[in-house]
Structure 1
Amino acid sequence: MIEKEKEAELLKTAINAAKFGGEEIMKIYAQEFEVFNKEDNSPLTIADQNANKVIEKLLKETNIPILSEEGKHADYNERKNWKQLWIVDPLDGTKEFVKRNGEFTVNIALVENGVPIMGVIYVPVKNWLYYGYSNGAFKTVDGKTEELPIKTTRTSMVVVGSRSHPSVETAQYFDELKKKHGQIEIVSMGSSLKICLVAEGKADIYPRFAPTMEWDTAAGHAIVNYAGKTLLDVGTSQEMIYNRKQLRNNWFIVK
């Protein structure tokens, strides 16, 4: 565990990095930009790259190694010896960024011995900040901070799904929930905002039966845990662990 004073310093650094990364993203969002395809055919823009440079520069000051989607990936033989590491997605939801629907985030997680112990998710378009650490999970909007989950009066079940990555298995799972609970409300959303909706209490469950990577989930995982929720690896029926040899996640359920 991290000492409280050190934890506060690291949280401040992660929040600053996320916000500065968000500023770089919004500079590109306001203009025309080119979209490239990476080896896995996922989109990449200069916003991803510029945000990553700013974020890595700030996080390197902590002397904790970094695993970023857009950075250099250390070999597992080196990574497996890292007790702590930052896991970063400088622009989660690049497809949403390209569509200009605002549903993209900056994700920064601090992982210790495979467990996400701190998470920061910043929503540049809205200037929303979600974060989780040993004191709890929180959301800050317009300078007002609320602890998560936020109390709700709704009675119906709300299920959140991916806007850009639907799957047959997810649709089948939704059908099973309908049979069990009757009418359910299905909300489509991009990026790690789906995990944030569960942490916030605006959604009850988020099943993901399609490919994701560690940097897609680590920050949100920390936040939902501190909000009293879980992110379960469907393959192991346990909380997902990180800094694995295989960086691609198994299917998972957040609830």
Structure 2
Amino acid sequence: MNPLNQIHNSSFNSSFIIHNSSLNSALSATILAGREILKIYQDPTADFSIEKKADNSPLTIADKAAHQVIVEILQSTGLPILSEEGKDIPWEDRKNWHRFWLVDPLDGTKEFIKRNGEFTVNIALIEDHKPIAGVIYVPVTKTLYAGMVGEGAWKGEGMDETVTFETLKSQGQSLPSETLPETYTLVGSRSHMNKDTEEYMAARRKEHGTVNIIAKGSSLKICLVAENAAHEYPRFGPTMEWDTAAGHAIASAAGKRVVRVDSHEELRYNKRELLNPYFVVTGNW
């Protein structure tokens, strides 16, 4: 059966899924997918001047290679998979999904093309429209973030594909791993700043005086708030569900929130339209 169309038996509860091997598979999948991406990223013959996802662009090849690795590993869990590379699953097929994987095989398109290293592999476990667990891997630095809502969040360095949540707990850092900066700190997109974001930052300057701004790519922006390296990450531009789900789970597990700007309600997933509203990652709201 095609894993994209499998429906998992909803009689299993969250604690069963969280504590079985499924999430360890997600950890391994992010790392192995990251290795495939690095093979292309580090290829001196790859033409990174192709910025769009043309069939033979390094970006497209890396996306597809990572997607294939992740699907091959996660299909053994029996859960459906919604990925940026498999995003055309009809609403009629996915509207009754109780629990599923939400995947971005390569988050940070512009950072990958610029070769600045700020791109990630993202895998989230969604249950009833909420992210309950997430894994983010940074291939260039070999940094791993993971979180389970109600259990905690962690950051590990130099982990290999044999990593489990238990080893990450024992060898990594619990998040948030540091105290908040004395100067009010915001994270901004390295490649997607706009007028709305600048106005929000200006309002924070008026409220807090001096404001420090960190520019960062991909889901690393959410991770910085989860770590306490920044107070907030406002996003007033288009993002898709797979861009935020893993980071949302990690932030939630670290005691932060990912909320809509208009209602202050948490972002929801597996909507008919997969576009996110404007949101803020914060510990304050």
Q: Shorter-chain TM-score: which interval? A: over 0.9
Q: How far off its partner does 1:233 sit? A: 1.5
Q: Please tell me whether the aligned partners of residues 109 and 119 of structure 1 are also in contact (alpha carbons under 8 angstroms).
A: yes
Q: 1:157 to 1:24 in 2, by over 3 A?
A: same
Q: How far off its partner does 1:52 sit? A: 0.5
The range that moved more, 26-35 or 199-208, is 26-35
Kindly report structure 1 stretches of 4+ aligned residues shifted beyond 6 Å.
none
Residue number in structure 2 paired with 1:254: 281
Residue number in structure 1 paired with 2:138: 123
Residue number in structure 2 paired with 1:158: 185
Letter in 1 for 2:234: P
The 2-side partners of 1:72 and 1:228 are apart by: 30
Unaligned runs of 5+ in 1: none
Q: How far off its partner does 1:51 sit? A: 0.5
Q: Please tell me whether the aligned partners of residues 34 and 138 of structure 2 are also in contact (alpha carbons under 8 angstroms).
A: yes
Task: Give identity over the alignment, percent.
Answer: 50
The 2-side partners of 1:200 and 1:102 are apart by: 19
Q: 1:108 to 1:68 in 2, by over 3 A?
A: same
The 2-side partners of 1:109 and 1:127 are apart by: 19
> Secondary structure at the residue paired with 2:134?
strand
Higher strand share: 1
Q: How far off its partner does 1:65 sit? A: 0.4
> Secondary structure at the residue paired with 2:174?
strand
Residue number in structure 1 paired with 2:236: 209
Encode CA deviations 1:71-120: one digit per residue, 9 max, x unaligned. Answer: 25311111111001100000000210110000000000000000000100
Residue number in structure 1 paired with 2:223: 196
The within-5 A match list for 1:106-255 is: 106-133=121-148, 134-142=150-158, 144-152=171-179, 154-255=181-282
Unaligned runs of 5+ in 2: 1-12, 160-170
Report how many aligned residue pairs link the two structures: 252
The 1-side partners of 2:74 and 2:180 are apart by: 40
The 1-side partners of 2:263 and 2:52 are apart by: 32
Residue number in structure 1 paired with 2:84: 69
Letter in 1 for 2:202: D
TM-score (norm 1): 0.94
Residue number in structure 1 paired with 2:105: 90
Residue number in structure 2 paired with 1:18: 30
The 2-side partners of 1:4 and 1:247 are apart by: 27
The 2-side partners of 1:103 and 1:77 are apart by: 35
What value does the CA root-mean-square deviation take over the aligned residues? 1.7
Q: How far off its partner does 1:151 sit? A: 2.5
The within-5 A match list for 1:7-86 is: 7-31=19-43, 32-34=45-47, 35=50, 37-38=52-53, 44-86=59-101
Q: Please tell me whether the aligned partners of residues 114 and 241 of structure 1 are also in contact (alpha carbons under 8 angstroms).
A: yes
